Protein backbone atom coordinates (compact mmCIF):
# COMPACT_ATOMS: atom_id res chain seq x y z
CA UNK A 1 0.00 0.00 0.00
CA UNK A 2 1.09 3.61 -0.46
CA UNK A 3 2.03 6.01 2.29
CA UNK A 4 1.68 9.81 2.58
CA UNK A 5 4.92 11.67 2.23
CA UNK A 6 6.85 13.83 4.55
CA UNK A 7 9.05 15.34 1.89
CA UNK A 8 12.59 16.43 2.86
CA UNK A 9 13.77 19.38 0.80
CA UNK A 10 16.91 19.77 -1.27
CA UNK A 11 19.81 22.14 -1.28
CA UNK A 12 20.52 22.05 -5.02
CA UNK A 13 18.11 19.77 -6.81
CA UNK A 14 16.59 17.52 -4.14
CA UNK A 15 19.00 17.24 -1.21
CA UNK A 16 18.24 18.62 2.24
CA UNK A 17 18.42 22.40 2.27
CA UNK A 18 17.17 25.57 3.88
CA UNK A 19 17.86 28.29 6.34
CA UNK A 20 16.91 29.53 9.79
CA UNK A 21 17.55 32.16 12.35
CA UNK A 22 20.70 32.15 14.43
CA UNK A 23 18.99 31.29 17.70
CA UNK A 24 18.54 27.50 17.61
CA UNK A 25 20.35 25.48 20.23
CA UNK A 26 21.87 22.15 19.26
CA UNK A 27 20.82 18.99 21.11
CA UNK A 28 23.03 16.01 21.84
CA UNK A 29 24.24 14.22 18.74
CA UNK A 30 21.62 11.75 17.47
CA UNK A 31 22.22 8.77 15.21
CA UNK A 32 22.44 9.90 11.61
CA UNK A 33 19.45 9.30 9.31
CA UNK A 34 21.58 6.94 7.21
CA UNK A 35 22.23 4.78 10.30
CA UNK A 36 18.57 4.59 11.23
CA UNK A 37 17.10 4.32 7.71
CA UNK A 38 18.74 2.18 5.03
CA UNK A 39 17.69 2.94 1.45
CA UNK A 40 18.64 0.87 -1.59
CA UNK A 41 19.86 2.04 -4.09
CA UNK A 42 22.19 4.51 -2.39
CA UNK A 43 21.53 8.24 -2.52
CA UNK A 44 22.47 9.75 -5.88
CA UNK A 45 22.72 6.40 -7.66
CA UNK A 46 22.47 6.55 -11.44
CA UNK A 47 21.75 4.00 -14.15
CA UNK A 48 19.70 1.82 -11.79
CA UNK A 49 18.12 -1.12 -13.59
CA UNK A 50 14.40 -1.55 -12.95
CA UNK A 51 15.05 -5.15 -11.88
CA UNK A 52 17.54 -4.09 -9.19
CA UNK A 53 16.56 -4.19 -5.52
CA UNK A 54 14.72 -1.04 -4.43
CA UNK A 55 14.01 -1.14 -0.72
CA UNK A 56 13.71 0.90 2.48
CA UNK A 57 14.67 -0.87 5.70
CA UNK A 58 15.23 -0.06 9.38
CA UNK A 59 17.49 -2.41 11.39
CA UNK A 60 15.43 -1.65 14.50
CA UNK A 61 12.28 0.32 15.19
CA UNK A 62 9.64 0.77 12.50
CA UNK A 63 8.79 2.76 9.41
CA UNK A 64 6.12 5.45 9.85
CA UNK A 65 5.86 6.87 6.32
CA UNK A 66 7.50 5.98 3.02
CA UNK A 67 6.86 7.79 -0.24
CA UNK A 68 8.60 7.07 -3.52
CA UNK A 69 7.93 9.50 -6.35
CA UNK A 70 8.77 9.86 -10.01
CA UNK A 71 9.85 13.49 -10.20
CA UNK A 72 9.83 14.40 -13.86
CA UNK A 73 6.76 16.58 -13.19
CA UNK A 74 6.20 19.68 -11.05
CA UNK A 75 3.96 17.66 -8.72
CA UNK A 76 5.62 14.24 -8.73
CA UNK A 77 3.74 10.98 -9.31
CA UNK A 78 3.69 8.65 -6.31
CA UNK A 79 4.83 5.06 -6.84
CA UNK A 80 2.65 2.51 -4.99
CA UNK A 81 4.43 0.16 -2.64
CA UNK A 82 3.92 -2.25 0.24
CA UNK A 83 5.13 -2.46 3.82
CA UNK A 84 6.28 -5.69 5.42
CA UNK A 85 4.13 -7.17 8.18
CA UNK A 86 6.65 -6.23 10.86
CA UNK A 87 6.88 -2.63 9.61
CA UNK A 88 10.64 -2.72 9.09
CA UNK A 89 10.86 -2.74 5.28
CA UNK A 90 9.10 -1.28 2.24
CA UNK A 91 9.33 -2.01 -1.49
CA UNK A 92 7.60 -0.56 -4.56
CA UNK A 93 4.95 -2.71 -6.20
CA UNK A 94 6.14 -4.86 -9.08
CA UNK A 95 6.22 -3.23 -12.50
CA UNK A 96 5.79 0.34 -11.21
CA UNK A 97 9.39 1.57 -11.70
CA UNK A 98 10.17 2.94 -15.16
CA UNK A 99 13.29 3.22 -17.24
CA UNK A 100 14.81 6.65 -17.86
CA UNK A 101 13.18 8.29 -14.82
CA UNK A 102 14.24 10.24 -11.74
CA UNK A 103 12.93 9.09 -8.36
CA UNK A 104 12.94 10.39 -4.81
CA UNK A 105 12.40 8.34 -1.67
CA UNK A 106 11.19 10.10 1.49
CA UNK A 107 11.06 8.24 4.77
CA UNK A 108 10.06 8.94 8.36
CA UNK A 109 10.94 6.22 10.87
CA UNK A 110 11.31 5.53 14.58
CA UNK A 111 14.54 3.93 15.72
CA UNK A 112 14.72 1.30 18.44
CA UNK A 113 14.70 4.02 21.12
CA UNK A 114 11.60 5.77 19.81
CA UNK A 115 13.50 8.67 18.22
CA UNK A 116 12.05 9.95 14.96
CA UNK A 117 14.28 10.44 11.92
CA UNK A 118 13.62 11.60 8.36
CA UNK A 119 15.64 10.73 5.28
CA UNK A 120 15.48 11.83 1.65
CA UNK A 121 17.32 10.06 -1.19
CA UNK A 122 17.19 10.13 -4.95
CA UNK A 123 18.22 7.93 -7.83
CA UNK A 124 17.89 7.71 -11.61
CA UNK A 125 16.97 4.59 -13.54
CA UNK A 126 18.79 3.37 -16.60
CA UNK A 127 18.43 5.32 -19.84
CA UNK A 128 18.83 3.04 -22.85
CA UNK A 129 22.12 3.51 -24.69
CA UNK A 130 22.24 6.35 -27.20
CA UNK A 131 18.88 7.73 -26.11
CA UNK A 132 17.88 10.88 -24.24
CA UNK A 133 14.76 12.20 -22.56
CA UNK A 134 13.70 15.52 -21.07
CA UNK A 135 12.41 15.71 -17.49
CA UNK A 136 9.87 18.52 -17.56
CA UNK A 137 7.73 20.81 -15.44
CA UNK A 138 4.91 21.70 -14.85
CA UNK A 139 2.77 18.61 -14.43
CA UNK A 140 0.17 17.64 -16.98
CA UNK A 141 -3.29 19.14 -16.27
CA UNK A 142 -1.97 21.26 -13.41
CA UNK A 143 -3.11 24.77 -12.47
CA UNK A 144 -0.15 27.09 -11.94
CA UNK A 145 0.67 30.72 -11.28
CA UNK A 146 1.22 33.41 -13.90
CA UNK A 147 5.02 33.22 -13.59
CA UNK A 148 5.32 29.53 -14.49
CA UNK A 149 8.29 28.73 -16.73
CA UNK A 150 8.25 25.49 -18.73
CA UNK A 151 11.56 23.77 -18.03
CA UNK A 152 13.30 20.69 -19.46
CA UNK A 153 16.29 18.95 -17.88
CA UNK A 154 17.77 16.49 -20.36
CA UNK A 155 19.29 13.17 -19.37
CA UNK A 156 22.33 13.72 -21.61
CA UNK A 157 24.25 16.77 -22.84
CA UNK A 158 22.70 18.08 -26.05
CA UNK A 159 24.98 18.88 -28.99
CA UNK A 160 22.36 19.67 -31.62
CA UNK A 161 20.38 22.13 -29.54
CA UNK A 162 18.47 23.57 -32.50
CA UNK A 163 17.04 20.17 -33.44
CA UNK A 164 15.92 19.48 -29.89
CA UNK A 165 14.41 22.93 -29.41
CA UNK A 166 12.61 22.56 -32.72
CA UNK A 167 11.14 19.29 -31.44
CA UNK A 168 9.38 21.05 -28.54
CA UNK A 169 6.59 23.55 -29.11
CA UNK A 170 4.81 25.59 -26.43
CA UNK A 171 1.55 27.19 -27.54
CA UNK A 172 -1.24 28.96 -25.69
CA UNK A 173 -4.86 30.09 -25.86
CA UNK A 174 -5.01 33.08 -26.15
CA UNK A 175 -1.83 32.94 -28.27
CA UNK A 176 1.38 34.69 -27.18
CA UNK A 177 4.97 34.39 -28.36
CA UNK A 178 6.84 31.77 -26.34
CA UNK A 179 10.62 31.38 -26.76
CA UNK A 180 13.13 28.86 -25.49
CA UNK A 181 16.38 29.70 -23.69
CA UNK A 182 19.25 27.26 -23.09
CA UNK A 183 21.15 27.12 -19.82
CA UNK A 184 24.18 25.02 -20.66
CA UNK A 185 23.93 21.80 -22.68
CA UNK A 186 21.21 20.01 -20.74
CA UNK A 187 18.54 22.54 -19.74
CA UNK A 188 15.98 24.34 -21.89
CA UNK A 189 13.35 26.73 -20.47
CA UNK A 190 10.39 28.39 -22.23
CA UNK A 191 8.53 31.58 -21.28
CA UNK A 192 6.57 34.43 -22.88
CA UNK A 193 7.64 38.09 -22.84
CA UNK A 194 5.39 38.92 -19.89
CA UNK A 195 3.69 36.86 -17.21
CA UNK A 196 0.92 34.62 -18.50
CA UNK A 197 -2.63 35.96 -18.39
CA UNK A 198 -4.95 34.22 -15.88
CA UNK A 199 -7.06 31.56 -17.58
CA UNK A 200 -4.54 30.88 -20.35
CA UNK A 201 -4.41 27.27 -21.52
CA UNK A 202 -0.88 26.15 -22.39
CA UNK A 203 0.06 23.09 -24.46
CA UNK A 204 3.54 21.58 -24.54
CA UNK A 205 4.12 19.17 -27.42
CA UNK A 206 7.23 16.99 -27.24
CA UNK A 207 8.11 15.46 -30.60
CA UNK A 208 11.55 14.19 -29.67
CA UNK A 209 11.35 10.56 -30.69
CA UNK A 210 14.16 9.90 -33.20
CA UNK A 211 15.34 13.52 -33.07
CA UNK A 212 19.14 13.44 -33.32
CA UNK A 213 20.62 15.45 -30.46
CA UNK A 214 24.24 14.46 -31.03
CA UNK A 215 26.41 11.81 -32.66
CA UNK A 216 24.41 8.57 -32.61
CA UNK A 217 22.07 9.95 -29.90
CA UNK A 218 18.32 10.12 -30.43
CA UNK A 219 15.25 11.09 -28.44
CA UNK A 220 12.53 8.67 -27.31
CA UNK A 221 9.66 10.98 -26.20
CA UNK A 222 6.47 11.77 -28.02
CA UNK A 223 4.06 13.33 -25.59
CA UNK A 224 1.67 16.27 -25.17
CA UNK A 225 0.89 17.92 -21.83
CA UNK A 226 -1.38 20.82 -20.98
CA UNK A 227 -1.69 23.13 -18.01
CA UNK A 228 -3.80 26.13 -17.06
CA UNK A 229 -2.81 29.50 -15.62
CA UNK A 230 -4.75 30.28 -12.47
CA UNK A 231 -5.40 33.61 -10.78
CA UNK A 232 -2.66 36.25 -10.72
CA UNK A 233 -0.77 36.47 -7.43
CA UNK A 234 2.60 38.14 -6.90
CA UNK A 235 4.44 38.88 -3.69
CA UNK A 236 7.01 41.64 -3.09
CA UNK A 237 9.45 41.13 -0.22
CA UNK A 238 11.20 44.29 0.97
CA UNK A 239 14.16 42.96 2.93
CA UNK A 240 14.99 46.38 4.38
CA UNK A 241 11.41 46.97 5.55
CA UNK A 242 11.02 43.35 6.78
CA UNK A 243 7.66 43.04 5.03
CA UNK A 244 5.94 41.23 2.15
CA UNK A 245 3.06 42.68 0.16
CA UNK A 246 0.84 40.01 -1.45
CA UNK A 247 -1.22 41.14 -4.45
CA UNK A 248 -4.07 39.16 -6.01
CA UNK A 249 -5.21 40.33 -9.45
CA UNK A 250 -3.40 43.63 -8.88
CA UNK A 251 -5.02 44.41 -5.52
CA UNK A 252 -3.26 44.20 -2.16
CA UNK A 253 -4.39 41.03 -0.43
CA UNK A 254 -2.20 41.37 2.67
CA UNK A 255 1.00 42.83 4.06
CA UNK A 256 2.91 40.30 6.16
CA UNK A 257 5.90 40.83 8.49
CA UNK A 258 8.91 38.71 7.54
CA UNK A 259 12.51 38.05 8.50
CA UNK A 260 14.94 37.79 5.56
CA UNK A 261 18.62 36.88 5.34
CA UNK A 262 21.00 38.42 7.83
CA UNK A 263 23.75 40.86 6.82
CA UNK A 264 26.26 38.04 6.27
CA UNK A 265 23.80 35.59 4.68
CA UNK A 266 21.49 37.92 2.77
CA UNK A 267 18.57 36.82 0.62
CA UNK A 268 18.91 37.03 -3.16
CA UNK A 269 17.29 40.01 -4.84
CA UNK A 270 15.15 39.47 -7.91
CA UNK A 271 12.18 37.52 -9.18
CA UNK A 272 11.88 33.90 -8.08
CA UNK A 273 9.15 31.43 -8.99
CA UNK A 274 7.62 28.96 -6.55
CA UNK A 275 8.68 25.51 -7.76
CA UNK A 276 7.85 23.24 -4.82
CA UNK A 277 5.55 23.35 -1.79
CA UNK A 278 6.07 21.13 1.26
CA UNK A 279 3.79 20.98 4.31
CA UNK A 280 6.80 20.06 6.44
CA UNK A 281 10.44 19.27 5.69
CA UNK A 282 13.86 18.97 7.23
CA UNK A 283 16.52 21.67 6.75
CA UNK A 284 20.18 21.04 7.47
CA UNK A 285 22.79 23.78 7.08
CA UNK A 286 25.52 21.34 6.09
CA UNK A 287 23.77 20.64 2.78
CA UNK A 288 24.11 24.26 1.67
CA UNK A 289 27.54 25.08 3.09
CA UNK A 290 26.61 26.48 6.53
CA UNK A 291 28.87 24.47 8.86
CA UNK A 292 30.60 25.07 12.17
CA UNK A 293 34.28 24.51 12.99
CA UNK A 294 33.67 20.76 13.29
CA UNK A 295 32.04 20.56 9.89
CA UNK A 296 28.55 20.04 11.31
CA UNK A 297 25.55 21.99 10.10
CA UNK A 298 24.98 25.30 11.87
CA UNK A 299 21.37 24.18 12.16
CA UNK A 300 19.34 21.03 11.66
CA UNK A 301 15.58 21.48 11.90
CA UNK A 302 13.63 18.29 11.32
CA UNK A 303 10.15 19.80 11.05
CA UNK A 304 10.17 23.13 9.20
CA UNK A 305 6.52 23.90 8.38
CA UNK A 306 5.03 25.45 5.21
CA UNK A 307 8.22 25.30 3.11
CA UNK A 308 8.02 26.91 -0.33
CA UNK A 309 11.03 26.50 -2.63
CA UNK A 310 12.21 29.60 -4.51
CA UNK A 311 15.62 28.48 -5.87
CA UNK A 312 17.47 25.24 -6.57
CA UNK A 313 20.30 26.38 -4.31
CA UNK A 314 18.12 26.32 -1.19
CA UNK A 315 16.26 29.61 -0.90
CA UNK A 316 12.86 29.00 0.66
CA UNK A 317 9.99 30.94 2.09
CA UNK A 318 8.93 28.98 5.14
CA UNK A 319 7.25 28.99 8.50
CA UNK A 320 9.48 29.84 11.46
CA UNK A 321 8.40 28.80 14.97
CA UNK A 322 11.79 29.15 16.70
CA UNK A 323 12.36 32.92 16.40
CA UNK A 324 10.63 35.23 18.87
CA UNK A 325 7.45 36.89 17.51
CA UNK A 326 9.02 40.36 17.61
CA UNK A 327 11.67 39.20 15.07
CA UNK A 328 9.18 39.33 12.20
CA UNK A 329 8.86 42.81 10.80
CA UNK A 330 11.91 44.11 12.67
CA UNK A 331 15.08 42.02 12.09
CA UNK A 332 16.67 39.84 9.39
CA UNK A 333 18.17 36.75 11.02
CA UNK A 334 17.95 33.89 8.51
CA UNK A 335 20.59 32.16 6.41
CA UNK A 336 19.05 33.51 3.20
CA UNK A 337 15.46 32.33 3.32
CA UNK A 338 12.35 34.42 3.93
CA UNK A 339 10.72 33.46 7.22
CA UNK A 340 7.09 33.94 8.21
CA UNK A 341 5.78 33.53 11.75
CA UNK A 342 4.45 30.04 12.46
CA UNK A 343 4.00 27.51 15.26
CA UNK A 344 5.56 24.10 15.72
CA UNK A 345 3.68 21.69 13.52
CA UNK A 346 2.32 24.51 11.37
CA UNK A 347 -1.05 26.24 11.52
CA UNK A 348 -3.34 27.78 8.90
CA UNK A 349 -3.99 30.62 11.37
CA UNK A 350 -0.41 31.94 11.20
CA UNK A 351 1.04 34.20 8.48
CA UNK A 352 3.02 31.24 7.10
CA UNK A 353 -0.03 28.99 6.95
CA UNK A 354 -2.19 31.75 5.48
CA UNK A 355 0.30 32.35 2.66
CA UNK A 356 0.88 28.65 2.01
CA UNK A 357 -2.85 28.04 1.58
CA UNK A 358 -3.09 30.80 -1.03
CA UNK A 359 0.07 30.09 -3.03
CA UNK A 360 0.47 28.12 -6.25
CA UNK A 361 3.49 26.60 -7.95
CA UNK A 362 4.31 29.21 -10.59
CA UNK A 363 3.60 32.27 -8.42
CA UNK A 364 6.30 34.95 -8.47
CA UNK A 365 8.01 36.16 -5.30
CA UNK A 366 10.24 39.20 -5.84
CA UNK A 367 12.82 40.37 -3.30
CA UNK A 368 14.09 43.96 -3.23
CA UNK A 369 16.43 46.00 -1.02
CA UNK A 370 18.50 43.02 0.11
CA UNK A 371 22.27 43.28 0.40
CA UNK A 372 22.88 40.28 -1.85
CA UNK A 373 23.13 40.12 -5.66
CA UNK A 374 20.29 39.36 -8.04
CA UNK A 375 19.50 35.66 -8.29
CA UNK A 376 20.97 33.93 -11.36
CA UNK A 377 18.33 33.20 -14.04
CA UNK A 378 19.19 29.49 -14.03
CA UNK A 379 18.87 29.15 -10.23
CA UNK A 380 15.41 27.67 -9.99
CA UNK A 381 12.83 29.19 -12.33
CA UNK A 382 14.34 32.68 -12.17
CA UNK A 383 14.38 33.44 -15.89
CA UNK A 384 12.16 36.51 -15.41
CA UNK A 385 15.29 38.38 -14.34
CA UNK A 386 16.48 38.36 -17.95
CA UNK A 387 15.20 41.10 -20.26
CA UNK A 388 13.29 39.79 -23.29
CA UNK A 389 16.11 40.44 -25.84
CA UNK A 390 18.58 38.56 -23.63
CA UNK A 391 16.11 35.74 -23.20
CA UNK A 392 15.54 35.37 -26.93
CA UNK A 393 19.29 35.46 -27.56
CA UNK A 394 19.54 32.19 -25.59
CA UNK A 395 17.44 30.32 -28.12
CA UNK A 396 19.20 27.93 -30.50
CA UNK A 397 16.67 29.06 -33.13
CA UNK A 398 17.38 32.79 -32.79
Cβ–Cβ under 8 Å, residues 237 and 338? yes
Active-site residue, 337 included? yes
Mean pLDDT across the chain, nearest whole number?
89
Cβ-contact 199, 228 below 8 angstroms: yes
| Adjacent-strand bridge partners of 317 | 308, 338
180-192 mean pLDDT: 98
Q: What is the pLDDT of residue 34?
A: 83
The predicted-structure confidence for 60-97, as pLDDT tens digits, reads as follows 999 999 999 998 655 678 999 999 999 999 999 998 89
Which is catalytic among the residues 9, 19, 337, 378? 337
Mean pLDDT of 38-45: 96
Q: Exposed/middle/buried for 397, CB within 10 Å: 0-12, 13-18, 19+? A: exposed
| pLDDT (average), residues 375-390 | 98
Measured from the Cβ of residue 365, the count of other Cβ atoms closer than 10 Å reads 25
pLDDT in tens, 92-111: 999 889 877 899 999 999 98
pLDDT 10s digits, 121-138: 999 998 877 889 999 999
Three-state helix/strand/coil letters over 126-153: CCCCCEECEEEECCCCEEECCCCCEEEE
CB 3 within 8 A of CB 106: no
Predicted confidence (pLDDT) per residue in 256-306, tens digit = 999 999 999 999 999 999 999 999 998 876 556 556 666 665 668 899 999
- Left, alpha or beta for 72 (phi > 0: left; psi -120 to 50: alpha)? alpha
**H or E segment and range at residue 164:** helix 161-166
* Structural domains in the chain, sorted by start: 131-230 (2.60.40.3710), 233-276+302-384 (2.40.440.10)
- 39-56 mean pLDDT: 94
Distance CA 311, CA 140 (A): 22
pLDDT value at position 286?
Answer: 58
pLDDT band at 24 (very low <50, low <70, confident <90, very high): very low
pLDDT exceeds 80 at position 376:
yes
Question: What is the rounded average pLDDT of the residues 158-180?
Answer: 98
> Percent of the chain, pLDDT > 70?
88
Say what the pLDDT of residue 11 is.
Answer: 37
Gyration radius from the chain CA atoms: 21
Active site residue 181: no
Among the ranges given (34-48, 223-237, 350-364), the one the predictor scored with the smallest mean pLDDT: 34-48
Q: Which residues contact 175 (CB under 8 A, 6 or more apart)?
A: none
Taking only the tens place, the pLDDT of each residue in 247-256 is 999 999 999 9
Distance CA 147, CA 88 (A): 43
User: Rounded CA gap, 317 and 159, in Å?
Assistant: 37
> Active-site residue among 120, 181, 242, 318?
318
Residue 381 reports pLDDT greater than 80: yes
Amino acid sequence: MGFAALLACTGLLTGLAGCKGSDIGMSSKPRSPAEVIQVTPEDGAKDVEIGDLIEVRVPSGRLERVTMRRVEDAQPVEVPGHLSEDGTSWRPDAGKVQLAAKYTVDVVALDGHGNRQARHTRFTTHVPAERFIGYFRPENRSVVGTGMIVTFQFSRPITNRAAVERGITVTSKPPVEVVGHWFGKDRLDFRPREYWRPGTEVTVAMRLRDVQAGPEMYGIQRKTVTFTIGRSQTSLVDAAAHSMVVRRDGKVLATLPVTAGSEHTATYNGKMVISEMLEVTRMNGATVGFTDADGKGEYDIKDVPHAIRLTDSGTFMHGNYWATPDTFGSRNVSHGCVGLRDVKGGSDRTPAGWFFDRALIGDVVEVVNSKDKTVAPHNGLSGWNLAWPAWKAGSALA
